[in-house]
Amino acid sequence: MRIAINTRLLIKNKLEGIGWFTYETLKRIVVNHPEHEYIFLFDRKPHPDFIFSNSVKPIVLRPQARHPFLWYIWFQYSVSHFLRKNKVDLFISPDGFIPTRCKTPTLNVIHDINFHHYPKGLPLLTRAYYQHFFPIFARKATQIVTVSHYSKNDLINSYGIEPDKVSVVHNGANNIFGPINDDLKIVVRQRITNGAPYFVFVGALNPRKNVDRLIRSFDIFKQNTNDNHKLVIVGEPMFMTKSIEHTLKTMKHRDSVIFTGRLQIDELTQVVASATALTFVPYFEGFGIPMVEAMYCHVPIIASNVTSMPEVAGDAAYYVDPFNENQIAEAMVQLVENSELRAALTARAIERKQLFSWDTSAHKLYQCIEGMTSTNGNNA
């Protein structure tokens, strides 16, 4: 079987949540099922690390799809033309975008539809593109995969998608994430915070991640406790970060907030594993991979009590209202002062992490592929 896959988000050293899903699942599927031919569709020259086996054929289609106008051209013309001109049995898109003018069976991975609920968190053109096309993408797809039961129900209720059309494949975490010894923690803290303990946030800096409110909550925590903890923010700005800049200018403990930018995965695991707790309080999340990474590192979690986060973190998190700064600050107080609470959350994290692995994710995604090919009368 010939399977074409949208791999435009496989960019060396720049993988985000969707990129990691693409990388971790495809790497396993390609290696475990070499009987198929896989055509990886890139919008730029691919790094060799993403050509997982001899059964992968990389194709570069132009233009580079990094803007709403270019998204339209790349999917509706470049990808659509390729699929029509080549004998492709199945098209898989791990980022939710699909061509709408071709008849190739399509497995579309829509991670969440945050823009449907919070459109003002996106630039105007991006917002308009998502709001117009994603309902079309969802209805046009032969089958849909999403990463949580919350997101499945959201697609059903928001877009009127039939429940049988949507399968849930949870994210995992890279096996490099894990606990580290106390001596290494001291070294990491010395490097990151001059030795001070810290809370950590991991994620792209866009509005729905709620970083500005997290910073204000941390300022309240500092004022109420005079504790020496710092707040480490790991991630790159995406857009609309002026609220973060304004918050930093007005807070009293600006020097206790540290922005690291993007960290490579080997350093990221050490930074997460050395934290007192992960503070992950977005107001919308389709899954929340950093929570699973914290579980792998045996680190307690402060998480939002909305959207998919309770589904993912279960009993391994201390939950807060993401819109209540005092409640978030109080959670930080509890995680610092209550050693029994930290120990209990850590124990639950160690148990709950067993539910999430990329091996399981890849297996379930391939089951979806098999289901589609058997329905179409092909041999998977």
Q: What are phi and psi of 72, to 5 degrees?
A: -60, -50
Per-residue pLDDT tens over the stretch 142-195: 999 999 999 999 999 999 999 999 999 999 999 999 999 999 999 999 999 999
Treating both helix axes as pointing N-terminal to C-terminal, what angle do 325-337 and 211-225 enclose, rounded to 10 degrees?
Answer: 50
- Contact (CB, 8 A) for 7 and 95: no
Give the pLDDT score at 239.
67
How far CA 145 is from CA of 8, 74, 334, 356, in Å, comes to: 18, 22, 38, 16
Q: Quickly state the pLDDT bin for 102 (edges 50, 70, 90).
A: confident
How far CA 191 is from CA of 179, 232, 295, in Å, comes to: 18, 12, 23
Per-residue pLDDT tens over the stretch 49-96: 999 999 999 999 999 998 999 999 999 999 999 999 999 999 999 999
Q: Enumerate residues 6+ apart whose C-beta is below 8 A from 103.
A: none
Per-residue pLDDT tens over the stretch 220-265: 999 999 999 999 999 988 766 788 988 999 999 999 999 999 999 9
- Contact (CB, 8 A) for 127 and 110: no
Give the pLDDT score at 34.
96
* Domains of the chain by start residue, with CATH: 2-172+358-375 (3.40.50.2000), 182-355 (3.40.50.2000)
CA 223 to chain centre: 32
